[in-house]
Amino acid sequence: METVSENRCFGGIQTVYKHRSAVCACEMTFAVFLPPQAGNGKVPCIWYLSGLTCTHENAMTKAGLQAHAAEHGVAIIFPDTSPRGDHVADDEAYDLGQGAGFYVNATKAPWNAHFKMYDYIVKELRDLVEGAFPLNGRHGITGHSMGGHGALIIALRNPDLYQSVSAFAPISNPTQSAWGRKQLTAYLGDDEAEWADYDATILLRERGWNGEILIDQGADDQFISLLRPHALAGVVTENCQPAVLRMQDRYDHSYFFVSTFGGDHIAWHAERLRGANHTLTISREAAQ
């Protein structure tokens, strides 16, 4: 790894790194926040996956998660959202190609040469950070929009690797959304049976989750029809899946929304990553 930048932050260290990825066949960038507690021993970590057009930097600088992570003694990993470089396939549209990896392993040309974001997050980058940083092996995962989709599908497919999962305004049902069908067709082909492993609504119906799920959704989200939160909520009800689904009045899709509820999500993960006993609670406001 090569260190790109390092800054003191809430008693901890916020660092950005780049490295050569064998999985994505290009140079990748990611960021790590280590809380002050990491100076005294190993800590759990939370993965934050970002949305369309983002890099590692958006959440690192806009979400305000470091203060909460320092309070609770958890590290945060901020990966990039796709492979990048002049030799990496791209598209003129903002929602396909670089910045729009959708956390899938592409199987169709030209995307399959580099777009292996599922394996990059689940395998390569996980192995890298566990070997390089004082992490205790307990992982939570969250994300926003496309990153919320990524967090949900990765956790649901790998319950042995993640002890907690949450999401901010996730793309919940991409196989039935314009934010999904276009990308899944490009990356995986026309056979919709191949798409199911990348749809949180389908995965939750078929596999469930061995704990609670926390999802926040802005009621005034300008992209809510593309996100399809009602589809995921329907499966939560059908499966009696323990979950807190909060529709937040007058909030949109921006990082103002993420930063408002980021502290709740860090605390949610920290409690579960400690392995503490906890009870499922829904606030009075969330239930309305």
**Per residue in 28-42, pLDDT tens?**
999 999 999 999 999
Q: Is residue 283 part of a domain?
A: no
Three-point CA angle 192, 214, 219, nearest 5°: 80
Coil, strand or helix at 80:
coil
Domain annotation covers residue 27: yes
Q: What is the pLDDT of residues 81-139, one digit of tens each?
A: 999 999 999 999 999 999 999 999 999 999 999 999 999 999 999 999 999 999 999 99
Of 50, 82, 221, 269, the active-site residue reads 221
170 phi and psi angles, rounded to 5 deg: -75, 150
Q: What domain range includes position 232?
A: 2-274
Residue 282 within any structural domain of the chain: no
Q: Is residue 212 part of a domain?
A: yes
Q: What does pTM read for this prediction?
A: 0.94
Is residue 163, in this structure, part of any structural domain at all?
A: yes
Task: Please give the Cα distance from 171 to 211 (Å, whole number).
Answer: 21
Into how many domains does the chain fold?
1
Q: At what angle do helices 200-207 and 229-238 cross, to 10 degrees?
A: 0
| Average pLDDT, rounded, for the chain | 95
| pLDDT given at position 284 | 31
- Told to judge if 221 belongs to the known catalytic residues of this protein, a careful annotator would answer yes
Catalytic hit among 21, 145, 164, 166: 145
Q: Identify the pLDDT of residue 279.
A: 40
Residue 145 annotated to the active site: yes
Domain-located, residue 46: yes
pLDDT digits (tens, 9 = 90+) for 213-222: 999 999 999 9
CATH number for the domain that contains residue 239: 3.40.50.1820
Which strand (E) or helix (H) includes residue 286? helix 284-287
Measured between its terminal Cα atoms, the distance across the chain in Å is 48
Cis peptide before 110 (omega within 30 of 0): yes
Q: Which helix (H) or strand (E) holds 12?
A: strand 12-21
286: confidence class by pLDDT, cuts 50, 70, 90? very low
Distance of alpha carbon 272 from alpha carbon 277, whole angstroms? 8
- On whether residue 107 sits in a domain, the answer given is yes
Residue 288 falls inside a structural domain: no
For residue 269, indicate whether it is catalytic: no
